[in-house]
């Protein structure tokens, strides 16, 4: 199954205005935004879609009331779409709309969509680092601490689910959709990669009690760690509450910074994720602070010599 990764996440929310403002401040590009919601895109066209929770077009909510109402995966071509329809129609209802998009539910009850991917080419930034003993990538008089440019997240990276039955959820994505385990936290769950990407993961499953079922977080890729730190600092300065980070994960190696959100989930910036192919041997570890991050910063207030460091 040549699934590339999530194209869009659809939320049904209580406060449409607050969620739309949040995603705009996060850096996504508003498309067709109005009082009823809107679409908020990264540079490649992947997106978060906001609607009011009572919108009739939304799939049914999970029993827990999770605001994530649908995860839409992008696939490489119509042949992949047809293969998914054939496979999943064996034991569940699969609907197809006029555009060819498929809709169904996974074995845990999460609403899923599949479509030929909306992803489009874009011109990204390549962060240039000068390392001693290596040819300079940023030459004389080229300033690295550039705060002048707008930061638009590049691409929807991954989504994390809380699931009541980890083995059942994992089996669906591996056996039915061709995802592969890249790494695993023993007592939590697997990091999963579909066949159409080398990204360390596009889905992470965490086993939790049934009353917690839903989405824990989603994230978009940024150009690199400098952009992540700058975007996170700007976001925090706008009054949004930091939840975890900035830091760098061990599994995936991605830099991270998580924030609270009005969508009932955490929202992350990430950068510099590992790539893996089918020759990779998955690692496994018990989840802990030491296993989840190689470092994690705590920001201090601005400081000047002679001033109050607190």
- pLDDT tens-digit readout, 224-252: 999 999 999 999 999 999 999 999 999 99
Q: Residue 146: its pLDDT value, please?
A: 85
**pLDDT tens-place string over residues 180-230:** 999 999 989 999 999 999 999 999 999 999 999 999 999 999 999 999 999
Q: What residue spans of the chain are helical by DSSP H?
A: 16-26, 78-88, 166-171, 225-237, 289-292
What does the domain layout of the chain look like in residue ranges? 3-119+153-295
- Domain at 3-119+153-295, CATH from 3.10.180.10, 3.40.50.720, 3.50.30.40, 3.10.580.10: 3.10.180.10
| 306 pLDDT more than 70 | no
Q: Residue 90: its pLDDT value, please?
A: 97
Q: Residue 170: its pLDDT value, please?
A: 98
Task: Please choose, from the candidates 174, 160, 163, 180, the residue with its C-alpha nearest in 3D space to the C-alpha of residue 71.
Answer: 160
* pTM attached to this predicted model: 0.95
Q: Residue 307: its pLDDT value, please?
A: 58
Q: Residue 308: its pLDDT value, please?
A: 59
How many residues does the structure list for the chain? 310
- Asked if omega into 103 is within 30° of 0 (cis), the reply is no
Give the sign of the dihedral formed by CA 113, CA 44, CA 148, CA 247: positive
**pLDDT tens-place string over residues 278-298:** 999 999 999 887 888 999 887
């Amino acid at each position: 199954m040549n699934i590339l990764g999530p194209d869009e996440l659809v939320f049904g929310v209580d406060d449409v205005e607050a969620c739309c403002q949040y995603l705009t401040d996060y850096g996504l590009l508003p498309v067709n935004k109005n009082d009823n919601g809107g679409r908020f895109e990264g540079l490649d066209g992947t997106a978060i879609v906001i609607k009011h929770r009572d919108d009739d077009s939304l799939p049914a909510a999970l029993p827990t009331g999770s605001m994530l109402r649908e995860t839409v995966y992008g696939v490489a071509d119509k042949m992949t779409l047809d293969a998914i329809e054939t496979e999943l129609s064996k034991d569940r209802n699969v609907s197809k709309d006029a555009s060819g998009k498929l809709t169904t539910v996974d074995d845990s009850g999460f609403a899923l969509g599949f479509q030929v991917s909306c992803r489009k080419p874009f011109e990204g930034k390549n962060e240039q680092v000068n390392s001693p003993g290596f040819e300079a990538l940023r030459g004389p008089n080229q300033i690295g601490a550039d705060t002048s440019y707008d930061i638009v997240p590049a691409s929807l990276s991954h989504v994390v689910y809380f699931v009541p039955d980890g083995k059942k959820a994992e089996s669906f994505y591996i056996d039915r959709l061709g995802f592969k385990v890249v790494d695993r936290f023993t007592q939590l769950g697997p990091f999963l990669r579909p066949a159409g990407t080398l990204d360390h993961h596009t889905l992470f499953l965490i086993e939790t009690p049934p009353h917690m079922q839903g989405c824990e977080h989603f994230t978009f890729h940024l150009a690199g760690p400098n952009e992540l730190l700058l975007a996170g600092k700007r976001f925090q300065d706008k009054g949004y509450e930091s939840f975890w980070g900035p830091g760098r994960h061990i599994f995936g190696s991605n830099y991270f910074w998580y924030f609270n959100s009005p969508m009932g989930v955490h929202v992350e910036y990430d950068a510099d994720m590992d790539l893996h192919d089918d020759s990779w041997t998955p690692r496994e570890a018990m989840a802990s602070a030491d296993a989840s991050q190689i470092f994690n910063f705590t920001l201090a207030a601005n400081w000047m010599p002679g001033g109050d460091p607190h």
